[in-house]
Amino acid sequence: MAKTPRNYPETMASAESGRPMVRGEKLVTLKVEGQTFEYRQPGWWCSLDDPDDLDGQLVDDDNLVAEMARRSARAIVRGEPFPPVLIRAIRLRCELSQRDAGEVFGTGEKSFEKYEAGQIPPSKPTQRLLRLAMERPELFRRPARGKAEMPAMSDIRLIQDTIRAAQLDRIYAPLFRDRTADVAAQS
Task: Kindly report the backbone phi and psi dihedral angles of residue 142, in degrees, each rounded to the nearest multiple of 5, phi listed first.
Answer: -70, 125
Domains recognised in the chain with CATH numbers = 11-77 (3.10.20), 84-140 (1.10.260.40), 153-186 (no CATH)
**Per residue in 79-112, pLDDT tens?**
999 999 999 999 999 999 999 999 999 999 899 9
Per-residue pLDDT at 47 = 96
C-alpha R_g of the chain: 25
> Alpha-carbon distance 42 to 2, whole Å?
7
Residues of the chain below pLDDT 70: 1-5, 144-154, 178-187
Cα distances (Å, whole numbers) of residue 71 to 25, 61, 80, 128, 143: 19, 15, 11, 21, 31
**Per residue in 77-86, pLDDT tens?**
999 999 999 9
Per-residue pLDDT at 148 = 55
